[in-house]
């Protein structure tokens, strides 16, 4: 909720209006590094933020930027005022004088309209905080240049205030980022390729007529850095050249990783075979036709999933030998208890319990297939990835269908028993 207080955050005073300088001020009103861009960027980041503490920070500073927009707007309007009635002043910027009546609008100093393209919003809090630190740094420089081009003392005071607040915000964002205690380069969730991440490519080389001399510094030597000299000019057979680490994943021949994949597939194979035995019992236990049909469909899918797992193991040169899956054993045992307890319950309650047991199985399988698929992708077994992707999609779809039936059953459970079957089948 916003509440406008009819008082500027900083009292604006302009002694000698300067229309041309007023035009420059519009850069901080509707420009890429201006106050509106900052207010929108921080506020929308705040709306997206799941962290309540840092959400408060973003909303606080986003709101302050709106007050800065008001200060800049008042400054610009006061400097542009002569263009309302003075022909010579109006000629300084006809767009402002003729189209805008000598007032401000959401344009930058070149007359380009403000755009949401200015905003840097990724939804990753640490990345957004870094963008905000950079945005404040750019805004500070713009204010500094405006001060240097300003002759009016009152305007300079206001600009000095605004420039100082940019540093304040930068400090707050930097402290918030530091408080997250994330390593400086741990961006996102996927780790960079080991080795490659520490290679510095000396890609601009030469001396004299062929270019400037190469330099060394903490950005390309010391620590973990590995200096790769002129990678584009390297000859494959050069003995003294540092090879570029171009692999982004373990090579397909990595025996240990392949063994892990085989182990995962055998575990899933045993899990699916247990599901094959359990589904006929669930079909028999289901009270409502829609749920029974869903279990029958998934029984057919599970048979195909067993075939795909067998084919995947064959592609790896491994026998289709199942490894006991203790996790699925427990889920199946739990499902049998649910079916036994359901015999004494109403139709809707019994089937809702059955759906709960089935969804626990589905979630287990979704997790297992996701792990195996990701591992196969890293090992570049594209045929196996395709097989596992198909099975994973079937498990995810089955889970969604179970959700749909469960929602219907929730409604049916509140209806008279005489009409519940008719309503569900409809």
Q: Which two tokens stand for residue 383?
A: 């045929």
Residues 154, 157, 161: CA angle, nearest 5 degrees: 145
- 136 belongs to an annotated ligand binding site: yes
- 68 belongs to an annotated ligand binding site: yes
- 65 belongs to an annotated ligand binding site: yes
Return the exposure string of 91-101: e unless at least 16 CB atoms fall within 10 Å of the residue's CB, then b.
ebbeebbeebe
- 35 belongs to an annotated ligand binding site: yes
- 336 belongs to an annotated ligand binding site: no
Q: Per the annotation, where are the binding residues? A: 35, 56, 60, 65, 68, 136, 169
Q: Per the annotation, where are the binding residues for Mn(2+)? A: 35, 65, 68, 136, 169
Q: Per the annotation, where are the binding residues for Ca(2+)? A: 56, 60
């Amino acid at each position: 909720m916003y509440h406008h207080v009819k008082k500027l955050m900083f009292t604006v005073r302009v002694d000698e209006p300067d229309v041309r300088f007023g035009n420059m001020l519009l850069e901080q009103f509707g420009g890429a590094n201006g106050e509106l861009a900052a207010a929108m960027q921080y506020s929308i980041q705040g709306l997206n933020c799941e962290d309540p503490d840092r959400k408060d920070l973003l909303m606080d500073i986003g709101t302050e930027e709106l007050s800065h927009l008001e200060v800049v707007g008042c400054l610009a309007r006061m400097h542009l005022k002569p263009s309302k009635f003075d022909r010579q002043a109006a000629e300084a910027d006809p767009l402002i004088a003729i189209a805008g009546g000598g007032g401000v609008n959401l344009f930058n100093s070149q007359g380009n309209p403000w755009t949401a393209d200015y905003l840097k919003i990724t939804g990753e809090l640490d990345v957004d905080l870094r963008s905000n630190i950079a945005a404040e740094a750019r805004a500070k420089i713009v204010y500094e240049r405006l001060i240097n081009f300003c002759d009016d003392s009152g305007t300079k005071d206001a600009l000095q205030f605004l420039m100082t607040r940019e540093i304040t915000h930068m400090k707050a964002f930097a402290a918030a980022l530091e408080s997250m205690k994330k390593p400086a380069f741990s961006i996102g969730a996927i780790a960079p390729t080991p080795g490659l991440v520490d290679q510095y490519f000396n890609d601009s080389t030469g001396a004299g007529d062929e270019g400037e001399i190469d330099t060394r510094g903490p950005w390309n030597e010391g620590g973990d850095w590995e200096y790769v000299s002129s990678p584009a000019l390297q000859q494959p057979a050069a003995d003294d050249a540092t090879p570029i680490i171009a692999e982004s994943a373990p090579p397909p021949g990595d025996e240990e990783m392949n063994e892990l994949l085989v182990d995962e597939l055998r575990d899933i194979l045993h899990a699916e075979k247990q599901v094959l035995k359990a589904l006929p019992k669930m079909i028999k236990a289901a009270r409502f036709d829609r749920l029974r049909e869903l279990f029958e469909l998934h029984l057919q899918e599970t048979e195909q999933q067993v075939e795909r797992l067998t084919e995947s193991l064959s592609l790896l040169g491994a026998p289709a030998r199942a490894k006991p899956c203790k996790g699925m054993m427990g889920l199946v045992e739990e499902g049998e208890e649910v079916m036994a307890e359901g015999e004494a319950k109403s139709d809707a309650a019994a089937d809702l319990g059955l759906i709960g047991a089935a969804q626990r199985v589905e979630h287990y399988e979704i997790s297992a297939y996701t792990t195996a698929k990701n591992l196969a992708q890293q090992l570049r077994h594209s045929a196996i990835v395709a097989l596992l992707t198909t099975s994973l999609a079937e498990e995810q779809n089955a889970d969604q269908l179970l959700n749909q039936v469960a929602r219907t059953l929730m409604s049916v459970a509140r209806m008279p028993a005489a009409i519940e079957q008719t309503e569900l089948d409809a």
